[in-house]
Amino acid sequence: MPAERPAVTAERFASFFVAPLAVAPTEPAPPARPPRRPPVVRDLTKLHPAFQPKIEGLLEALEALGTPARLWETLRTPKRGEWLKAQGRSRNGARSMHIFGLAADVICAAHRWRCPRSCGFFSNVGEVARGEGLTWGGDWTTIVDRPHVQLVRVGEQGTVRAAGVNLDTALRSLGYA
């Protein structure tokens, strides 16, 4: 007597076709890749026209003082701002004055990121920036940011952020353009 085989019911028959789909292994989600470093913009011409000549003047003055600078970063995309904030390297993220083309970072051409105090580069940056009426991050007390130079004072940043498309008007009202 042949072994009894389960009857192929219509239901079971259908399961031959359905089952492979139902048991298809669910691929574990690929591990989240670390976000790619958004590129740094170093182009002087990307700065706001009210600020660009002041940075040109700063670079020339630093050269004349014997401590030439390397322009590290000018305009920053909001994406890069958020990326830096996530890294703890920017406090303001997408609200930084870099986003508006109103800030630039300069480092010492000779020593890059390892400039010793004895070089005098940053004290020259501070002196020249103050002389041009710029705000220097090296004068800040909460987060000292020595490469950072910006057009407006910290107390005026809110006006810049709120200005939207009326940025030029806002800068004029603050006396910068």
> Interface with Zn ion by CB under 5 A: which residues?
103, 105, 108, 110-111, 115, 119, 121, 148
Residue 108 CB, shortest distance to Zn ion, in Å, is 3
Please report, in angstroms and rounded to a whole number, the separation of the first and last CA atoms in the chain.
Answer: 102
Residues 6+ positions from 45 with CB-CB distance below 8 Å: 52
Helix (H, G, I), strand (E, B) or coil at 107: strand
Helix (H, G, I), strand (E, B) or coil at 70: strand
Q: Counting every residue, how long is the chain?
A: 177
Residue 42 CB, shortest distance to Zn ion, in Å, is 12
Residues 6+ positions from 79 with CB-CB distance below 8 Å: 38, 94
Taking the least distance from each CB to Zn ion, the nearer of 99 and 115 is 115
Taking the least distance from each CB to Zn ion, the nearer of 102 and 171 is 102
Report the distance separating Cα 91 and Cα 157, nearest Å: 13
Tokens of 2: 């042949």
Taking the least distance from each CB to Zn ion, the nearer of 69 and 171 is 69
Strand partners of residue 70: 107
Taking the least distance from each CB to Zn ion, the nearer of 92 and 159 is 92
Residue 109 CB, shortest distance to Zn ion, in Å, is 8
Residue 18 CB, shortest distance to Zn ion, in Å, is 60
Residue 85 CB, shortest distance to Zn ion, in Å, is 12
Taking the least distance from each CB to Zn ion, the nearer of 19 and 40 is 40
